[in-house]
Amino acid sequence: MATTHHQRSGEERRRELLEAAERVVLRDGPGASMNAIAAEAGITKPILYRHFGDKGGLYRALAKRHTDALLRALQIAVDTPGDRRRQVAGTLDTYLAAIEARPQVYRFLMHPADDGAAGGSEQGFDVGRHSAPLLRRLGEELGKVVADRVDLGPRGDLVARVWGHGIVGMMHAAGDWWLGERPCGRAELVETLTDLLCGRLFGVPDRPGARPGAGG
């Protein structure tokens, strides 16, 4: 029983430290430092390192926390009653709503190198090395959701994985651009991306003078 209690206490302490880290990230964005996080948690930086190893370890813990929550929300969106277009739109909107609601957290996870102090200089932190696995996990998990719910025939699992990674790549690239420039509202972006995924690209005519074959 003592071991179980000790493990629970350790898990609770780790959760408290992650919550402190999130508060600093919400305040400082990509500039969040280990010093500021330690101060917010009321501990010294060596103790913070003892729990997470380095900034990369803290990043991975925060990324898992947010990815887990996002995946649960995406699964709910996919399972929403309605036709397939509504499910696609709901999935896109869930992702975009998540990054819109907490842009500082998103930027910390995807763009910490925007701030010199938080980029590659602190404990050898490298955003590319850490953010790529986050997107890869989202792609794999979304592919599993697609495979579970859609009959894609022979080699369907492979097709679902391709689609999962493709959809995540599109959501990430479009969402990153949209969050930075805000050229339109979220609803319009969702509608436009849904049109693309639902095949509108192949239902519109070529412009006059377009090269033969340019439209498929």
Query: Is there a contact between 109 and 175 (Cβ–Cβ < 8 Å)?
Result: no
pLDDT string in tens for the chain (216-residue length): 444 545 557 788 888 999 999 999 999 888 888 999 999 999 999 999 988 888 888 888 888 888 899 999 998 998 888 888 999 999 999 999 999 999 998 988 888 654 444 444 454 455 556 678 889 999 999 999 889 988 999 999 999 999 999 999 999 999 999 999 999 999 999 999 999 999 988 888 888 877 765 554
Using only C-alpha atoms, the chain has a radius of gyration, in whole angstroms, of: 21
What's the pLDDT at 1?
47
**Amino acid at site 125:** F
- Could you name the CATH architecture of 55-201? Orthogonal Bundle (1.10)
User: Residue 19, CB half-sphere, CA atoms under 13 Å: how many?
Assistant: 7
- Taking the C-alpha atoms of residue 1 and residue 8, their distance in angstroms, rounded to an integer, is 10
Residue 125 — left, alpha, or beta (φ > 0 → left; ψ -120 to 50 → alpha)?
beta
The residue extents of the domains of the chain are: 55-201
What's the pLDDT at 112?
64
